[in-house]
C-alpha cells in the first residue's frame, strides 16, 4: 500500500533539531538513524525518533492531506534536503513496500530523491504509559535544568546521572542533583507519582525548543521488580521505571535511572547546626557571576572558589593549583 505525506518545510525545520537530539549514528541498528513519518486517518502527521532508551514524538499543528500510513526516512538525508529548501515550500514523503523517496522542488522543478528503504513494521515498539498525568509549572523546568547541571557525568556512578524527583517527604517534594562534590536541591513541589523518580541527563530535556513548548505534563510507569524473597521469581520480566513528559507539540518518553538515590538530606545544614548562613544581595550575585571566570582556579577540578567571611565582609577567593597559599580576593557587599 502506498503512503504519501506532504509536510511544510517550516514545520520540519522546527522539529528536526529536537529529533536530532535523540537520533544517533548506530552502526549495529541502522534503523535507529531514521525518523518515522506517520499520517493517520484523521490526517494528523507525527514525526518520531528513538534510540531505545528515549522516544520523542512531534505532532504537527496543521492537518495534511495525503495517503495515510507510515514510512521511515534517514534523518541525515532528510536534514540535508530540508536545509536547502525555503520555509514556504512543502516536501512530500512517498513510500511503498519496496521504495522510499522524498519529493521536493529545486529551481521550480520537482525532484525525487530515493533514500535507503526500511520496512515500517521493523520500527521498535514504543513504551506506552497509561498512568494519569499531572501538570508541571515553569519553576519545575528551571529547577530541573539547574539540578541536571549539578548531576554527575561519571558512568560508574550511574544513579547520580540525573535529577531526582524526591517524594520521600510527603509534605515537601524536592528536585535534587549532585555529583558527590556539589549538591543542588529545590523544594516545595508536589509530584503525583507513586515513588521517587530519577530523570536521566539527556540533551532533549534541556533543548530550548522542548523547554519553551508550552506547559509540561508528567506521568510515570514504576519499575517492575521481582520479589527478592522468591527464589523462583522470573527476573527476566523486571522492568526499569519509565517517564513521559508531554508539551504542546512533543511527547517525550524515556527510561528513568534505575536505582536508589543517596540520602542527600544528611548533608544539608539545618537551623540547629553550626553552619554559617550568608544572604547575598542581587548586586553581589551579579558581581560573583562576573568575577568567578576571571579568578585563578580554572586549572583545578570544578574550579574551586573559597568563600571567607572576615572583617564584616564576605571575600570571594580563587587559587590556581600551583599557587600554594596565594589567594586573589574580591570583597562582596552583604545583604
Which DSSP string corresponds to 212-245?
TSS-EEEEEE--B---TT-TT--GGG-B--EEEE
Query: pLDDT at position 148, please?
Result: 97
pTM, two decimals, is: 0.85
In CATH terms, the fold of domain 3-122 is DNA Polymerase III; Chain A, domain 2 (3.10.150)
Q: At what angle do helices 9-19 and 75-83 cross, to 10 degrees?
A: 140
Same fold, 3-122 and 134-262: yes
CATH number for the domain formed by residue range(s) 134-262? 3.10.150.10
CA 291 to chain centre: 30
- Band (310; pLDDT cuts 50, 70, 90): confident
- Band (225; pLDDT cuts 50, 70, 90): confident
- Band (232; pLDDT cuts 50, 70, 90): low
Query: pLDDT at position 201, please?
Result: 96
Per the model's pLDDT, the better-predicted residue between 114 and 27 turns out to be: 114
In the chain, what are the domain boundaries?
A: 3-122, 134-262, 282-332
- Phi/psi of residue 86, nearest 5 degrees: -80, 155
Average of per-residue pLDDT across 19-29 = 88
Per the model's pLDDT, the better-predicted residue between 284 and 38 turns out to be: 38
Give 260's DSSP letter: P
Query: pLDDT at position 238, please?
Result: 83
- Phi/psi of residue 251, nearest 5 degrees: -125, 125
Helix, strand, coil fractions of the chain, as percent rounded to 5: 20, 35, 45
Query: pLDDT at position 302, please?
Result: 67
Query: pLDDT at position 62, please?
Result: 73
Query: pLDDT at position 82, please?
Result: 95
Residue closest to 247 by CA, chosen among 29, 26, 59: 59
Q: Please give the Cα distance from 189 to 106 (Å, whole number).
A: 52
Amino acid at each position: 500500500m502506498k503512503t504519501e505525506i506532504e509536510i511544510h518545510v517550516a514545520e520540519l525545520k522546527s522539529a528536526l533539531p529536537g529529533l536530532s537530539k535523540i537520533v544517533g549514528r548506530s552502526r549495529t541498528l541502522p534503523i535507529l538513524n531514521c525518523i518515522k513519518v506517520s499520517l493517520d486517518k484523521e490526517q494528523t502527521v507525527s514525526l518520531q525518533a528513538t534510540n531505545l532508551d528515549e522516544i520523542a514524538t512531534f505532532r504537527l499543528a496543521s492537518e495534511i492531506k495525503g495517503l495515510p500510513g507510515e514510512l521511515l526516512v534517514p534523518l541525515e538525508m532528510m536534514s540535508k534536503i530540508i536545509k536547502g529548501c525555503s520555509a514556504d515550500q512543502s516536501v512530500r514523503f512517498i513510500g511503498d513496500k519496496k521504495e522510499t523517496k522524498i519529493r521536493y522542488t529545486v529551481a521550480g522543478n520537482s525532484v525525487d530523491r530515493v533514500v535507503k528503504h526500511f520496512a515500517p513494521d521493523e520500527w521498535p515498539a514504543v513504551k506506552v504509559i497509561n498512568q494519569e498525568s499531572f501538570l508541571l509549572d515553569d519553576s519545575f523546568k528551571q529547577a530541573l535544568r539547574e539540578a541536571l547541571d549539578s548531576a554527575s557525568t561519571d558512568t560508574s556512578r550511574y544513579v547520580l546521572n540525573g535529577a531526582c524527583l524526591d517524594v520521600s517527604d510527603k509534605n515537601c517534594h524536592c528536585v535534587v542533583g549532585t555529583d558527590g562534590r556539589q549538591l543542588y536541591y529545590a523544594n516545595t513541589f508536589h509530584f503525583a507519582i507513586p515513588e521517587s523518580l530519577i530523570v536521566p541527563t539527556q540533551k532533549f530535556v534541556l533543548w530550548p525548543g522542548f523547554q519553551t513548548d508550552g506547559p509540561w505534563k508528567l506521568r510515570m510507569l514504576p519499575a517492575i521488580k521481582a520479589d527478592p524473597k522468591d527464589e523462583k521469581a522470573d527476573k527476566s520480566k523486571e522492568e526499569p521505571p519509565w517517564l513521559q513528559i508531554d508539551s504542546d507539540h512533543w511527547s517525550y518518553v524515556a527510561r528513568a535511572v534505575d536505582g536508589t538515590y543517596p540520602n542527600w538530606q544528611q548533608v544539608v545544614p539545618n537551623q540547629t547546626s553550626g553552619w554559617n548562613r550568608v544572604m547575598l544581595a542581587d548586586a553581589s550575585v551579579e558581581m560573583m557571576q562576573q568575577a568567578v571566570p576571571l579568578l585563578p582556579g580554572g586549572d583545578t577540578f570544578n574550579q574551586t572558589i573559597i568563600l571567607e567571611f572576615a572583617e564584616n565582609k564576605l571575600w570571594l577567593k580563587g587559587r590556581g593549583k600551583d599557587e600554594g597559599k596565594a589567594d586573589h580576593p574580591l570583597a562582596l557587599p552583604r545583604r
